[in-house]
Amino acid sequence: MFRFIARRLLETIPVLLVIITATFFMIRFVPGGPFTAEKAVTPEILRNLEAHYGLDQPLHRQYFNYLGDLLRGDLGPSFKYANRTVNEIIFDKLPVSLELGAWSLLVALCLGLPLGTIAAIRRNSFLDYLCSGFGMVGICIPTFVMGPLLALLFGIHLQWVNVSGWYGPADRILPALTLGFVYAAYVARLTRGGMLEVLNQDYIRTARSKGASELRVIFKHALRGGLLPVVSFLGPAIAGILTGSFVIETIFQIPGLGREFVQSAFNRDYTLVLGTVILYATLIIFLNLVVDVVQVWLNPKLKFE
Amino acid sequence: MLQPFLRLLPLILAALLVAGCGKKAATDDSGAKILHVGNGTEVQDLDPQVVTGVPENKVINAIFEGLVIEGPNGTDTAPGVAERWETSSDGLVWTFHLRADARWSNGDPLTAHDFVRSYQRILTPSLAAEYAYKLHHVVGAEAYNKGELTDFSQVGFKATDDRTLQITLKHRAPFLLEAMKHYSWFPIHIPTVEKFDGLTRKGSRWTRAENMVGNGAFVLRDWRPNQKIVVTRSPTYWDRANVKLDQIHFYPIESMDTEERMFRTGQLHKTNELPISKIDAYKRDYPENYRQDLYYGSYFYRLNVTRPPLNDVRVRRALALSIDREQLVAQVTRGGQQPAYHFTPPSADYTPTARITMDVAEARRLLAEAGFPEGRGFPKIELLYNTSENHRVIAEAIQQMWRRNLGVDIGLRNEEWKVYLDSQDELNYHICRAGWIADYTDPNTFKDMWVTGGGNNDTGWSSAEYDRLVRASMETNNDEERFAIYQQMEKLLMEELPVIPIYFYTRVYAISPKVLNWVQNPLDNRSWKYIDLAD
């Protein structure tokens, strides 16, 4: 297993290098730059600015300088936020995105797993339709509709929580529910599908014929196999929860990294674009590795190769 | 049991622990007067010599103060660090007398030398200050900024003693006091900047809340990026007895809808903007919370005069004459904007007399004369705008007016902000949406941009006569003469039409009746010390 993980980790190096190189050059070829503004500055000032940030050097030298800095763990200064470095911005904001992601994941699993399981056990019953219906609704309603709806209900009409902000523990509720619902819906559907497949397997029939109780059959035997699709979904989903929280962060005014990920591209904040892309790429590669490990652990048929 | 899930649970809990939670609530107003305002986007920085934006302006106006400030009624000029000033008879030498009790927030006295050293810093080439050009009216400033002059003593800033600052201009600039209300003219505390090695480079840490030294009515207490900026009343400010608020909290909120919801639940006293979709409801149901102020800015379309068919002034004129601006502001923009029949917005002492009104018959005649009767044979051209719902609906309405009135079919093309700016700069368009908000309240800021090859011209238009008038306006000795020249310039602009004026901006926002002394200001520039909150 350790050899497997070590090999996979080694493989990430060329992958990351390709991602960094592609991002570095792609963002440079987009029209407009970090200092393109509605009110034009004089050409002399623009030259000063470019010299200040080293943008006056040939592109390949900038690229190798960047790689050198990166090896030392320095992601450079932000072009937009003059007195912050990219490292600082990431250290400031990643924990917020992680926290939002963790709460949302909790909502997704606590809602999705039981609903999916119930739907599978009571297949084609009213309960199944109810749970599957929830799944459809959750997938169909986009977060930018769900978020304002929840804010309207709980923030403005009931006045239980703030409509936006990230100050007290109560401020976590609406964003986590909004983001969690979508993933809960997917989890419910995948759990139902996985469970249905497993419940028809021979070994479940064997377990039942041996006289195991229904609860024992479901929790001990079926769920383990039934969760496989959910686990393979969770790897990219967790990365998605962390990167895809741009909308939620904007609706609820949360100081997370998802917003920087998107805004930095609009601002042509070259270093921040690269910093966030590298971070998310690493995260996705790492989570996929975790998923592979967990799948082997859950499914005796698979082995580390 | 749910074993696999339980095995994942510690991971989730660990993530929660890492992230941490339980911070203090947004509002804990315990009798103190705390104003909560929406402030648009997150500030770039709070160094007055580095930033370029409007949200930055709001915060910097609270923690710094220039020689003069915006007066309490919103249109006059009040003394700031300077208690009085005078100009030489030729208008070139300005002498400012600083007040004796002006202090920095760390208690240091604020002297004329601080101003000179601050101006030296903003003009230093390696600092690469984008707004350094705002000081280029001063003798030698531009040369120093370009690196052509290295001896700062030859630049027109002199501290003749601790309390006297003399500024020598290279040409008359009657708008100097207005221009000085802009933060690029504010002083900074050089020893603090030096301590954090920020004298000749951007991005030093002197503007962090724990390091910042300012001279305004408020001091920076807390700055949490993308959350809020808190400023609190300064104990060393010279006019502290007249400061009314205890704190101001600035919230960077990009989504107008989020901001409006926060206003409705009382999290904000004032929003930065209001979505167009909410304007009617506010006017009808909450008129006491609704405000629309005139804003000294112009919304217009640039025409690329280097490309056919827009190189023909008759075509440009036909397009300009066939827009129904009254209908546009009443039914599309709806925020009380003023239809624009000339480019420069009207102000207290200058309103252009040149007019471009709607005249469809004349427009059709001109178009036919240019070789496109009823729009036949008119080439396929496009109207470019930056991606935004508001610009789209305006462009669609105008596209429709052109189709109906002239029979010409003009395509729409939208581009992301920076791509759009690049296209505009490269003249890679036919017609292009644009906006211009004044730097200071003087018509000059709408005039000199059309000079040949000017960085903000972006139309390819060039007129020797116009260039001559720009120079002449700089050399006049009084405003009457200057404004007379501006009338000629506006007339020329409306004859040649490298731009089509559409409307003059307003600012639409929601504000609680509790906020007192919130006066209308043409640039939404204010001194926060006058603002008060009712109990």
The pLDDT tens digits for B182-194 are 999 999 999 999 9
Q: Torsions phi, psi of A246, nearest 5? A: -55, -50
Q: Which of 270-299 (A) contact B at CB < 8 A?
A: 298
The alpha-carbon gap from A88 to the nearest alpha carbon of chain B, in Å, equals 11
Q: Tell me what ipTM this predicted complex has.
A: 0.84
pLDDT at B15 over 60: no
Which DSSP letter does residue B451 get?
S
Closest by Cα among A19, A48, A49 to A34 = A49
The pLDDT tens digits for B442-475 are 898 899 889 998 888 999 999 999 999 998 988 8
Is there a cis peptide before residue B309, judged by omega within 30 degrees of 0?
A: yes
- What percentage of chain B has pLDDT greater than the value 90? 74
How many A-B residue pairs are in contact by the CB < 8 A criterion?
A: 198
pLDDT at B19 over 50: no
d(CA A181, CA A145): 12
The alpha-carbon gap from B456 to the nearest alpha carbon of chain A, in Å, equals 6
Residue B97 burial class via C-beta count within 10 angstroms: exposed 0-12, middle 13-18, buried 19 and up: middle
Q: B36: helix, coil or strand? A: strand
Q: Which of 92-111 (A) contact B at CB < 8 A?
A: 92-93, 95-96, 98-99, 101-103, 105-106, 109
The pLDDT tens digits for A256-293 are 888 888 889 998 999 999 999 999 888 888 888 888 88
- All residues at 6 or more sequence positions from B516 whose CB lies less than 8 Å from its CB, including other chains: B531, B532, B533, B534
User: Which of A30, A48, A96 is most worth mutating to test chain B (most B CB atoms within 10 A of its CB)?
Assistant: A48
d(CA B502, CA B340): 5
Split at pLDDT 50, 70, 90, the class of B13 is: very low
| 3-state helix/strand/coil string of B483-513 | HHHHHHHHHHHHHHCCEEEEEEEEEEEEECC
d(CA B452, CA B450): 6
d(CA B6, CA B2): 6
Rg (CA), chain A: 24
- What percentage of chain B has pLDDT greater than the value 70? 94
Q: A160: helix, coil or strand? A: coil
The verdict on a CB contact (< 8 Å) between B421 and A38 is yes
The pLDDT tens digits for A74-96 are 999 998 888 889 999 999 998 89
d(CA B476, CA A212): 101
pLDDT reported for residue B6: 47
Structure tokens at A181: 């619902």
d(CA A282, CA A295): 20
Dihedral sign from CA coordinates of B112, B113, B116, B117 = negative
User: CA angle at residue B102 from B98 to B107, to 5 degrees?
Assistant: 145
Q: Say if CB B466 and CB B492 are below 8 A apart.
A: yes
In B, which residues are within 8 Å of A155 by CB distance?
261, 265
Average pLDDT over residues A146-162: 90
- Flag the least confident range among A2-6, B26-30, B526-530: B26-30
- All residues at 6 or more sequence positions from B230 whose CB lies less than 8 Å from its CB, including other chains: B220, B221, B222, B223, B247, B248, B249, B250
Average pLDDT over residues A7-34: 91
Write the single-letter amino acid at A121. Answer: I
Q: Which helix (H) or strand (E) holds B465?
A: helix B464-475
- The predicted model scores a pTM of 0.88
In B, which residues are within 8 Å of A38 by CB distance?
421, 435
pLDDT at B2 over 80: no
Average pLDDT over residues B351-370: 94
- All residues at 6 or more sequence positions from A116 whose CB lies less than 8 Å from its CB, including other chains: A131, A135, A187, A188, A189, A190, A191, A192, A194, A195, A230
Distance, CA of B84 to chain centre = 27
Q: Say if CB B436 and CB B300 are below 8 A apart.
A: yes
The verdict on a CB contact (< 8 Å) between B418 and A101 is no
Structure tokens at A254: 């949360």
Closest by Cα among A259, A287, A285, A284 to A272 = A259
Split at pLDDT 50, 70, 90, the class of B23 is: very low
Q: Which helix (H) or strand (E) holds B301?
A: strand B290-303
Maximum distance among all Cα pairs of chain A, rounded to whole angstroms: 85
The pLDDT tens digits for A231-254 are 888 887 887 777 657 889 988 989
pLDDT reported for residue B490: 96
Split at pLDDT 50, 70, 90, the class of B285 is: very high
The pLDDT tens digits for B111-147 are 999 999 999 999 998 888 888 888 999 999 999 998 8
d(CA B170, CA B172): 7
pLDDT at B204 over 80: yes
Q: Torsions phi, psi of B455, nearest 5? A: -60, -20
pLDDT at A1 over 70: yes
d(CA A60, CA A76): 17
d(CA B448, CA B473): 10
pLDDT reported for residue A243: 65
Closest by Cα among A90, A200, A182 to A145 = A182
pLDDT reported for residue A217: 81
pLDDT at B14 over 60: no
Closest by Cα among A213, A81, A189 to A128 = A189
The verdict on a CB contact (< 8 Å) between B204 and A45 is no
Higher-pLDDT residue of A93 and A218 is A93
The residue count of chain A comes to 305
- Flag the least confident range among A212-226, B22-36, B185-199: B22-36
User: Average pLDDT of chain B?
Assistant: 90
Q: Torsions phi, psi of B378, nearest 5? A: -70, 125
Q: Is B327 left (phi over 0), alpha (psi -120 to 50) or beta?
A: alpha
> What dihedral angle (degrees, nearest 10) is formed by the CA atoms of A118, A119, A122, A125?
140
Structure tokens at B318: 């036909």
Structure tokens at B378: 């008119």
Split at pLDDT 50, 70, 90, the class of A215 is: confident
Q: Say if CB B469 and CB B434 are below 8 A apart.
A: no
Split at pLDDT 50, 70, 90, the class of B264 is: very high
The verdict on a CB contact (< 8 Å) between A40 and B456 is yes
d(CA A120, CA A193): 7
pLDDT reported for residue A304: 66
Going by their DSSP bridges, the two strands B68-70 and B410-415 should be labelled as: unpaired
Which DSSP letter does residue B100 get?
T
The alpha-carbon gap from A82 to the nearest alpha carbon of chain B, in Å, equals 5
The pLDDT tens digits for B43-82 are 999 999 988 888 999 999 999 999 999 999 877 899 999 9
pLDDT reported for residue A244: 59
Average pLDDT over residues B143-158: 94
Q: Which of 228-267 (A) contact B at CB < 8 A?
A: 231, 250-256, 259, 266-267
